[in-house]
A and B are shown apart, each in its own frame.
Chain A
Amino acid sequence: MSIKTKTVVKTALVAFVLTSVAACSEKPKPVVEAPPPPVAQAPQPQTPPPPVRPVETAPAGIVPGSQQDFVVNVGDRVYFDTDQSSIRTDAQGILSAQAAWLNRYPAVRIRIEGNADERGTREYNFALGARRAEAVSEFLTSKGVDPSRISTISYGKEQPINPGSDEDAWAQNRNAHTALVAGAK
């Protein structure tokens, strides 16, 4: 049985105390010390995307050129097939209506937010969302919307509109949302 030698212990002992003190003094201040308790994640009841109605049947009280006008009477979201960014036939009508509306209200600026479902890896899905946002941007500019009024962003799979994990949820979460960021009435 051998025992440690005290002298050796002492030298290195000081060395460690010094490093640990230094580390403590320079350590970033944690914002909160304790990890949060686990949060139960029950699937939420689903609100389907609002139906698209022709302008003629617009309910009274909606101000033309407003956010509500755009969402209710035009439709602010289009959907994509799995791993695809091409504009579907059912999206072309909505986007054409978006372009017409935007051309009627030239002060409005928009941000196109591309989204992906959870069936892909995080970074790839950012890129996929960017591609979807760009596809919508290209469609709108082809219909005469000035590109300087449009910005694009991808939220990847980070902001699902349907928190579920099934085909319906994935289909809703593969979308591009047109947000009015300025100029709406």
Chain B
Amino acid sequence: MPTPPSAFPVTKRALLAMAAGMTGLMVAPSVFAQDELHGTVDQGVIQPLPIAIDITSQADAQGNSLGAQISKVISADLERSGYFKPIDPNAFIDHEIDVNVQPSFDHWRTINAQYLSNGLAHVDADGRLTVDFRLWDVFGSNQLLGQSMTATPENWRRVAHKIADMIYEKLTGQEGYFDTRIVFVAESGKRGARVKRLAIMDQDGFGASYLTDGSLKVMTPRFSADSQLVAYMALSADSARIYIFNLETGRQESVGEVKGMAFAPRFSPDGSKLAFSVSQTGATNIYVMDLSSRRVTRLTSGAAINTSPSFSPDGSTIAFTSDRGGSPQIYLMNADGGNVRRITFGGGIYSTPVFSPKGDLIAFTKQSGGRFSIGVMKPDGSGEKLLTSSYLEEGPTWAPNGRYIMFFREPPGGSPSLWMVEASGRIERQVPYTGGASDPAWSPRLK
């Protein structure tokens, strides 16, 4: 088997980043790869890597195997990334192979598995779940990873996401993003009378729970950088207010009364400030609140609409939507409101700018030709690239590794759902959550 073309060389740096991301879950590293590995991108088309996932465990009295469930979660994570093609376990020649014995590589080559991750999940006498797993380069006949993770059994999904993160990082050289969560708006009921509740779930659409009761329409939640706070807007018949929900305590509080409607809240990267919009006498301007003193400063002025602020990762710049020039376009300003400059000139309507985690790109919503698109461009407005397009889609949010963008899409007359697209536009997947969902916000990596 020839070595695939090099696109994602794995370096020591990637391994260190991987180790740094392991707080919380126990990982005992055993073997590190000596040589470089590669994912493959060939002529602009991603060739997913065939991989076999085989975590085993003793079946319980009902015949359920936790190992098989963990394997499924890992496989689904890797598949949705677009870079992997997990092989159907029914095709495996060997089953339940001993984690402490070198696999029969021939048997895995026969089913064209380029990589194999096998392991053993067991709950020990004191009730703790341990998963020992390995990652093998089948054609190179060598071990790439050997780890042991321990957690309480109810956290088995997080263990699976952590393993998927390690495999993804090892084989693509990119930071993993599977052990993350999404806050979003769960929508139910008919159009025009929708119930919109704040909700949170794992990145893969599982483990959803509601955080608000639906008495107010909740919209546009955003995480703080430490993932502990969620700022959102709540609409009642006669007011629009911003609230902050504390995920640790379960408490929520209003950020205070303002004259007019307050919406579009965004935390600054250091968590000390909250930017938002206020509509008053027809004008909508952007303000920033110092969260410790609650002091509010106005950043924009005039009669135009200025909304959807997004801080750059270094906190120095705010991108926002404004129609001061006639139609909605994207502008940048310094974090103190100075040096305003328009960056979109591509024709059409631009809104909802969101800086990427590294600050090298801005994701946005574009309306053109009767359709909505999610796109990316450089912060100076150059290099615009539309990734996906449909009747109605908006609200991009970046995965913490900057490689994927989640957004929501609503078909004509239909119910909204969450989607993700890879930053090159080559991979697009629906998030497997079964209810109506909009306004996703992706958490940083969990600690």
Contacts and interface: CB of A to CB of B under 8 A. Distances in A.
Interface string A129-163: 01101110010000000000001011110111111
Nearest to A158: B217
A6 to B, nearest CB: 9
Given A123-B352, A127-B279, A41 B190 contact: yes
A15 interface: yes
Contact of A131 (B199, B249, B305, B434): B305
Interface stretch (A26-34, A55-63, A70-78, A91-99): A26-34
Nearest to B391: A165
Interface in B371-421: 391-392, 394-395, 410, 412-415
Interface string B147-185: 110111001000000000000000000000000000000
B308 A38 contact: no
A127 B233 CA distance: 13
A39 B190 CA distance: 8
A13 B199 CA distance: 30
A19 interface: yes
B250 A29 contact: yes
Nearest to A181: B238
A134 B365 CA distance: 26
Contact of B305 (A3, A19, A31, A124): A124
Interface stretch (B23-31, B78-86, B109-117, B291-299): B23-31
Contact of A123 (B31, B101, B263, B391): B263
B24 A8 contact: no
Given A2-B146, A126-B263, A121 B351 contact: yes
Interface residues of A, number: 67
Interface residues of B, number: 88
A130 B261 CA distance: 8
Interface string B239-264: 11000010111100000000011011
Contact of A4 (B132, B199, B210): B132
A43 B132 contact: no
Interface in A22-58: 26-39, 41-44
Contact of A8 (B28, B248, B261): B28
B191 A131 contact: no
A155 B238 CA distance: 9
A161 to B, nearest CB: 7
Interface of B: 24-28, 30-31, 100-102, 128, 130, 132, 143, 146-148, 150-152, 155, 186, 188-194, 196-197, 199, 201, 208-213, 217, 219-220, 235, 237-240, 245, 247-250, 260-261, 263-264, 277, 279, 281-284, 305, 307-308, 321, 323, 327-328, 349, 351-352, 365, 367, 391-392, 394-395, 410, 412-415, 433-436, 439
Interface of A: 1-5, 8-9, 12-13, 15-17, 19-21, 26-39, 41-44, 83, 85, 111, 118-124, 126-128, 130-131, 133-135, 138, 151, 153-156, 158-166, 181
